[in-house]
Amino acid sequence: MNKNTTNWIDEYHKGSRYGLEGQILIDKRSRFQRITIIDSKRYGKALLLNGCWMTAERQEKTYHECLAHPALCSAGDLKRVLIIGGGDGGTARECLRHSALEYLDLVEIDEVVVETSQKYLPTLGGSIWNDQRMNLAIEDGVSWVSKAKNDYYDVVIVDGSDPVGPAKGLFNKEFFENCRRILKTNGVFATQSESPESFHEVHVETVNLLKNIFEYAQPLYGWVPIYPSGWWSWTFGAIDSPRFHNPINSRIQDIASKCEIWSPRWQKGAFEAIPACIERELEK
């Protein structure tokens, strides 16, 4: 990240940089990472962790809707949902828009991310922090899933950062196997799975790993303009059928009119929009 006189704040990635013009409001270190908030001209206030863009007020929906709704709209039940990471509150907010959702565990390792987001990015979480259905746990997500009961959650969502630092453990086989173990047979798993362009290898490895662990797994492609290359992916897994392709009507009715990006039609196209070079690298 570069703070210079012209107030451009950049994420550096493999010889490219991705920047916004704005003012740095906070730049501090927690026990786990560097946490920065900027006020950008284009997208409003934005959060970086270890110099990498995480979210921004006026473009977060391109990420959070795409991670949450394909899973929440297609799981058999919505009694218990788990989010690992997601301390800014955006994914939880999208989940809690589903009136069928009864109970949500939000497990974030870094309480400073939560506190900073509550203070500087209040629109991300909105009213979730006082929602009776939500339980916020400041804990290591890897350890949480290793201790959770078999067949317990209707939806498991992983909303971590890139696979370095505190999020590294959210991309490995043992972690994903535990996610499958704690998922109900008619449940749906979802994770952010990096960019098919700027994180090509991580993306392919992650999708292939999930294809080996879940009976059904498939990536969905969209965009998050502030992330490296802007091109992003989320991968969904299920046990009893590829149910993430079939959003349930009552759930669609519950949320669709207020979504900015997600719709059943968008979702269908986004699952189909797999780049040819990635399709060749994925295991059948």
Q: Which of 12, 1, 119 is nearest to 22 (CA)?
A: 1
65 is an interface residue for ligand SPD by CB under 6 A: no
Among the residue ranges 31-39, 74-82, 88-96, 248-256, the one whose residues contact ligand SPD (CB under 6 A)? 88-96
Alpha helices in the chain, H assignment, sequence order: 61-72, 90-96, 111-120, 122-125, 141-147, 173-181, 200-213, 249-255, 264-272, 276-281
**Residue 188 and residue 72: Cα distance in Å, rounded?**
8
Nearer to ligand SPD by C-beta: 170 or 217?
170
Nearer to ligand SPD by C-beta: 202 or 248?
202
Single out the residue of 57, 88, 110, 154 in contact with ligand SPD (rule: CB under 6 A). Answer: 88
Q: Bridge partners of 23?
A: 39
Of residues 218-237, which lie at the interface with ligand SPD (CB under 6 A)? 227
**Close Cβ partners of 39 (under 8 Å, ≥ 6 residues apart):** 22, 23, 25, 45, 46
70 is an interface residue for ligand SPD by CB under 6 A: no
Single out the residue of 86, 222, 237, 247 in contact with ligand SPD (rule: CB under 6 A). Answer: 86
**Residue 184 and residue 181: Cα distance in Å, rounded?**
8
Instruction: Determine which one of 77, 159, 162, 254 is catalytic.
Output: 159
**Residue 175 and residue 182: Cα distance in Å, rounded?**
11
141 is an interface residue for ligand SPD by CB under 6 A: no
Of residues 150-179, which lie at the interface with ligand SPD (CB under 6 A)? 159, 161-162
3-class state of residue 225 by DSSP: coil
Active site residue 159: yes
Q: Which residues bind ligand SPD (CB under 6 A)?
A: 52, 54-55, 63, 86, 88, 90-91, 159, 161-162, 192, 227
Among all residues, which ones are annotated catalytic?
159
